[in-house]
């Protein structure tokens, strides 16, 4: 019997496995301590404070939807080497996959960055239902005020992992706070003339942003579920009465239901990306888009 094809397959598999391992070694070539985070903006916050001192493992890949998150076998390796998992707090997949993630590394510290923040629950929302998990809206990273508080805890944890860098991290944190304050002031100025204005959005990602800057957010999608005909009619009538012709959606969300709304009000769909790693520039861009469409 000729074993050549089998040998070729075995060699090919070995080369592939070595290549994957080698790629992972290149990704973390300096044997940096590993930190796992849930979403891309968290990586940005860590780098603002610690530069590239750590290898940051991101659970939700760029362009992926939190609603369809699946833990990949390739991610388990990075999780197994992680010193800490910095959770956002109430993103749905953080709850549904928590056991699997923690089982991959029983020594990994789990930090909930939402602890101590002024969170918005479904009971605090007059229109629609913005829960993603635990009855709490999770989109805290779209509020500069919240990010400032989260960054304080991130700085403390990074200083524990690298105590010799504590002074540098504290200085970087103060610098980042100044950047956040400047961003906050710029957004306040941009939205000064639009206090109380309504923003219609498919999924309630701007809940904390709207609270910070005096806007009214009306989500079409209640509680992560497809809009009911009653809710669709309610929001369409509201839009017509207020001459609102824009609905905002996340870039990874299906446009079908938003398209029905836009057609009914003779309006348009505008995509925004709440998960952009360019956190500061992205918030300014979202604000610019909103103000342009108020005019």
The pLDDT of residue 57: 97
Tell me how many domains the chain contains: 2
Q: Is there a domain that residue 28 lies in?
A: no
Cα gap 213→128, rounded to integer Å? 19
Cα–Cα distance measured from residue 263 to residue 275, given in angstroms and rounded to the nearest whole number: 27
CB-based burial, 23-46: b 16+ in 10 Å, e otherwise: eeeeebeeeeebbbbbbbbbbbbb
**Same-domain status, 42 and 175:** yes
**156/90 same-domain check:** yes
Domain boundary among 161, 186, 211: 186
Whole-angstrom distance, CA of residue 70 vs CA of residue 100: 11
Same domain, 134 and 164: yes
- Please report the pLDDT score of residue 224 as a whole number: 61
The confidence score (pLDDT) of residue 222 equals 66
Residue 27: inside a domain, yes or no? no
C-alpha separations of 200 from 7, 240, 265 in Å: 60, 12, 12
Cβ contacts of 121-127, under 8 Å, gap ≥ 24: 122/223, 125/204, 125/207, 127/218, 127/219
207 and 246, same domain (yes or no): yes
- State residue 7's pLDDT score: 41
CATH number at 249 reads 3.40.50.1980
Same domain for 271 and 133? no
Q: Answer yes or no: is 204 within a domain.
A: yes
Q: Do the beta carbons of residue 290 and residue 199 sit within 8 Å?
A: yes
Residue 16: both structure tokens together: 């592939």
Domain coverage including residue 242: 191-294
**Has residue 263 been placed in a domain?**
yes
Indicate whether 196 and 179 sit together in one domain.
no
What's the predicted TM-score (pTM) here? Answer: 0.85
Backbone angles phi, psi at 191, to 5 degrees: -105, 10
Residue 134 is predicted with a pLDDT of: 60
CA angle, 182 then 91 then 294, to 5°: 50
Splitting the chain (295 residues) into consecutive groups of 10 residues, what average pLDDT does each group show? 44 42 48 96 98 97 87 92 97 94 97 96 46 75 98 98 98 98 98 96 94 95 78 94 94 82 94 96 98 90
């Amino acid at each position: 019997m000729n074993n050549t094809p089998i040998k070729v397959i075995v060699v090919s598999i070995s080369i592939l496995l070595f290549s994957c391992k080698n790629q992972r070694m290149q990704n973390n070539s300096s044997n940096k301590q590993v930190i796992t985070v849930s979403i891309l903006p968290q990586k940005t916050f860590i780098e603002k404070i610690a530069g590239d001192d750590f290898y940051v493992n991101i659970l939700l890949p760029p362009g992926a939807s939190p609603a369809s998150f699946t833990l990949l076998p390739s991610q388990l390796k990075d999780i197994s080497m992680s010193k800490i998992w910095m959770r956002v707090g109430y993103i749905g997949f953080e709850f549904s996959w928590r056991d699997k993630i923690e089982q991959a590394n029983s020594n990994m510290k789990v930090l909930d960055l939402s602890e101590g923040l002024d969170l918005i629950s479904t009971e605090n929302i007059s229109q629609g239902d913005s829960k993603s998990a635990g009855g709490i809206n999770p989109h805290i990273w779209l509020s500069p005020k919240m990010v400032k508080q989260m960054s304080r805890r991130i700085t403390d944890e990074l200083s524990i992992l690298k105590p010799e860098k504590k002074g540098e991290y504290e200085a970087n944190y103060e610098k980042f706070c100044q950047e956040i304050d400047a961003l906050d002031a710029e957004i306040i100025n941009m939205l000064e003339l639009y206090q109380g204005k309504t923003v219609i959005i498919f999924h309630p990602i701007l809940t904390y942003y709207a609270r910070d800057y005096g806007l009214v957010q009306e989500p079409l999608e209640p509680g992560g579920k497809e809009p009911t005909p009653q809710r669709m009619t309610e929001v369409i009538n509201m839009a017509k009465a207020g001459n609102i012709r824009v609905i905002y959606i996340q870039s990874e969300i299906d446009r079908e239901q938003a398209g029905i709304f836009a057609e009914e009000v003779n309006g348009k769909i505008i995509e925004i990306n709440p998960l952009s790693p360019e956190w500061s520039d992205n918030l300014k861009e979202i604000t610019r888009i909103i103000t342009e469409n108020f005019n």
